[in-house]
Structure 1
Amino acid sequence: MNDIDRPLTPDELGHRLTEVFDLVGPLYRRAVRKVEQGEAVEGISVGVRAVLDLLRQSDPMTVPQMGRVLALSRQFVQRMVNDAAAQGWVEAIPNPAHQRSSLIRITDEGRATITAILGREHHLNRQVGGDLTDAELRATVRVLREMLKALDHVDLD
């Protein structure tokens, strides 16, 4: 096994992951700003975008379920759902499993809105350079998932 392929010691890993966190913060903030620039077109905040994208990919969910998946507080998700509902992008439907916690479902208008946003984002993402390979991106996703898993215990509410 060559040196680059050996697992890092906990101390080495800690230093290298700090480099990743140092990049993820500015990357996230710039991505948020880019989405917010598109808000004038679709009238959508980053939080509502996250809710719509999650519901686009899943069956209807409760607000607490969405909060857990998105790693956001229930209260914040509820505000985003309320904003999306006011635009006609989501709707509450009865939840057979829990009378007091409705399921939230994306509407056709919401699906069209998030599809347009994702198309614009895909266009921007195509402009990323660096001759990146599938293996590099799979490794990046693996690293970020492990970092996220290490923070699963953090209370969001």
Structure 2
Amino acid sequence: MSSAPKNEIFTQVVLEVFKVGGLLNIDGDKLTKEFGLTASRWKILGAIMLSDNPVTVPEIGRYMGQSRQAVQRLVDVMAKDGLLTMTENPNHKRAKYIQMTTKAVDIYKQLDMKQVKWAEGLSSDLSTSEMESALKVLKHIAKQISA
């Protein structure tokens, strides 16, 4: 067991999360390159695909932990590329609903299959309980920060 104070260990965890986040973006860029996407654009597709309801740019931003402005820039480019469409939102004049085109859905499904193999490879030497513990801790930290 470590004798370091909990706050120091927490700081080490945060620094490792930053490092892993950067590495995940690099790997995400590699996974998506053949489809003309980046990890950031893939995240937007995922936020839309995984939502049970129509989503707006601010909602995508909250889901991704990104600013509305950063998401809006990507959504605008992705719309020009034929991946997204914007439709009227009866609940808000300016915050339009963002939807994936058929082309984007097809790309997302192909990436999803690719991602499963990637995830299997990276998690092969970890137990299910280790993965569940890591997920529990990260969700707790996210909840604390969001509170």
Q: Under a length normalisation based on structure 1, what TM-score does the superposition of the two structures give?
A: 0.81
Pairing partner for 2:18 from 9, 25, 29: 25
Per-residue Cα deviation, 1:38-93 (whole angstroms, up to 9, x for no partner):
34301112221111001011122111111112111111000111122122221111
Give the whole-Å Cα distance in 2 for the aligned partners of 1:32 and 1:131: 22
CA contact (8 A) 1:52 1:110 kept: yes
Structure 1 runs, 4 residues or longer, greater than 6 Å off: none
Cα distance, 1:131 vs. partner?
A: 3.9
Q: CA 1:100 to 1:130, structure 2 compared with 1: closer, same or farther past 3 Å? A: closer
What is the one-letter code of the residue matched to 2:145?
L
Counterpart selection for 2:69 from 53, 70, 75: 75
The structure-2 alpha-carbon separation of the partners of 1:143 and 1:104, relative to structure 1 and needing over 3 Å to count, comes to: same
- Identity of matched residues, %: 23
Structure 1: unaligned runs, 5 residues or longer = 5-10
Q: Tell me the equivalent position of 1:54.
A: 47
Q: Determine the C-alpha separation between the residues in 2 that align with 1:62 and 1:105.
A: 9
Task: State the shift of 1:129 in Å.
Answer: 5.1
Q: Which has the higher contact order (CA 8 A, sep 6+)?
A: 1
Q: Provide Cα deviations, 1:3-52, integer angstroms capped at 9, x if missing partner.
A: x8xxxxxx843222223223222221111111222343011122211110
- C-alpha distance in structure 2 between counterparts of 1:53 and 1:26, whole Å: 22
Q: CA deviation at 1:122?
A: 1.6
Deviation at 1:118? Answer: 2.2
Give yes or no for the alignment of 1:44 onto 2:37.
yes
User: What residue identity is the alignment partner of 2:117?
Assistant: H
| Structure with the largest fraction of strand | 2
Larger Rg: 1
Q: Which residue of 80, 90, 94 maps to 1:100? A: 94
Paired residue type of 1:67: G
The number of residues matched between the two structures is: 144
CA pair 39-132 structure 1, distance change in 2 beyond 3 A: closer
